[in-house]
Each structure stands twice: as C-alpha cells, then as structure tokens.
Amino acid sequence: MSWLLWCPILVVLIGLFLLVDGIRHLWRRRLYRGGGGLVGGVILALAGLCVGLVGLNMATYARLTFERPVAEVSVRAVEPQQKLYTVTVRRLDGDGERVTACALQGDEWMLSGRVRRWKPWLTVLGLDSGYTLDQVANKYRVASEGEGKPLTVCDLPGAHPAVDGYVPRRWLAWLMSLPSAEERRFGSASYMPLADGAVFKVLMTQSGLNAEPANDTARAADAARG
C-alpha cells in the first residue's frame, strides 16, 4: 500500500486519538483542554478521511490501469505472395529468455492467453491479474479466404502465473474460495498484421492482453489495415 494511503490512515488515527482524549478530558470536566482536543481530533480525522479517499481513488486508478510487457513479437516474411511468415515470440516475463518461432500463413498473427482477474479491492492491494500465454496462431481479415487452408498455430510454453511466485498456494486457494475475491476468468487475445520486419510488444493489462506496434514497420502496417 502506498504512502497515499498510509499517511491519511496515520492522520485519521491521530485524529481519533485526540478525539478520544478530548472526550476523556470533558468527562473529567476539563472543558478547555477537552474542547481543544475534541475540535482538533474531529478536524484531523475528517481531513485524513478526505485525503484518504482521494488517495484510494488514485491508487485504484493506478492499479486498474497498470500494464506490463509480457512478450515481443517479430515478423519475417518467407513467401509474401503465399502469405507465409515466420513469427518469433520472445517472452519478456519470468526468469530466463524463452523464444518460440512459428510458421504462420495469413494476414495477421493472434496471441491468446487465459486471464484470472481479481476484484478491485485485491487489485488495489497489489494482486494483479494472473495470466498464462496460450498460443500464437494465424488470422485472415476475410474468413472466406482461410477456407480450405491449413490452420497454422504454435503453443507458447511458459511459467506458472506470476502470482504463484509470491502468494503461497494455500493463501491463493483460500482467496479463490472467497466469492468477493475473484472477479472472473476469461480467454483473451490480441492480433496485429503480418508484415516483414514488423516488431510488436504484447502487454498484460488488468483487462487482458493488448498488442501495440514497437517499430516504424509495425506502425505503418497497423495504420494500413484501417
């Protein structure tokens, strides 16, 4: 939890302490000291609460819009007339470099995965969406063009979801058993055009996978597809 939340909590606690202390002095008929503590405690508690709400809102936005790179996808043409390409997926997550080269035929590459999304209150505490990358496959802009042509697809080997590395399995099983912890599980995919020399970066967001161009060739190919 960031200082945006800890500082307001500390201010609220100090305010509550002064409030309780002021009530104690009023009970003992120390009106001046009790009144000062009461007023100061209320002001501090309210100020801390207001700042805390602002901080919580900012922290929530930051966590829910958090993105991290998970893969780099590069494309090399083999037979452009036949729409044959070699797509290389380099994992950017986990320990060690994992590279998968896949022969694809089509207009676009598509990378898919499985996502486990947590409730916002757990996301704010730092538990980001868990994921596993699944496959890289081909895609045609017009479905009829792919009729009768072979499906080209490759599995993407990888490590367990990142959350498994820092949350004990017993805790994770307990969290998953809570109806208010896990929001949902779903499949996610992102696709981009096949273009010789194009490089793309795949990001994992709290909402799923997202791909973006990483060089000029990729940006031109993305803009050309409309």
Domain boundaries, the chain: 3-64, 68-224
Q: Which residue, among 12, 5, 7, has the nearest Cα to 44 in the 3D structure? A: 12
Q: Among 2-11, 21-30, 174-183, 184-193, name the one with the lowest average pLDDT.
A: 2-11
Query: How far is 115 from 89, CA to CA, in rounded Å?
Result: 19
Q: List the structure tokens of 123.
A: 């996301």
Task: Give Rg (Cα) of the chain.
Answer: 26
How far apart are the two ends of the chain, measured CA to CA in Å? 42
pLDDT in tens, 110-144: 999 988 777 766 666 666 667 888 999 999 988 88
Checking if the pLDDT of 61 tops 50, the result is no
Task: Return the higher-pLDDT residue of 17 and 105.
Answer: 105
Please, how many CA atoms are within 13 Å of residue 204, restricted to the half-sphere of its CB? 22
pLDDT in tens, 62-85: 444 467 888 999 999 999 899 999
Checking if the pLDDT of 57 tops 50, the result is no
Checking if the pLDDT of 1 tops 50, the result is no
Global model pTM greater than 0.75? no
Q: List the structure tokens of 96.
A: 């060690």
Checking if the pLDDT of 45 tops 90, the result is no
CA distances from 13 to 2, 17, 48 (A): 17, 6, 9
pLDDT in tens, 144-161: 888 878 789 999 876 555
Q: Which residue, among 126, 134, 119, 138, has the nearest Cα to 188 in the 3D structure? A: 134
Mean of the per-residue pLDDT values for the chain?
75
Give pLDDT, residue 120. 65
Q: List the structure tokens of 129.
A: 């969406």
Query: How far is 116 from 132, CA to CA, in rounded Å?
Result: 9
* Strands (DSSP E) found in 107-181: 108-118, 130-139, 153-155
pLDDT in tens, 193-209: 999 999 999 998 877 89
Three-state DSSP state, 89: strand
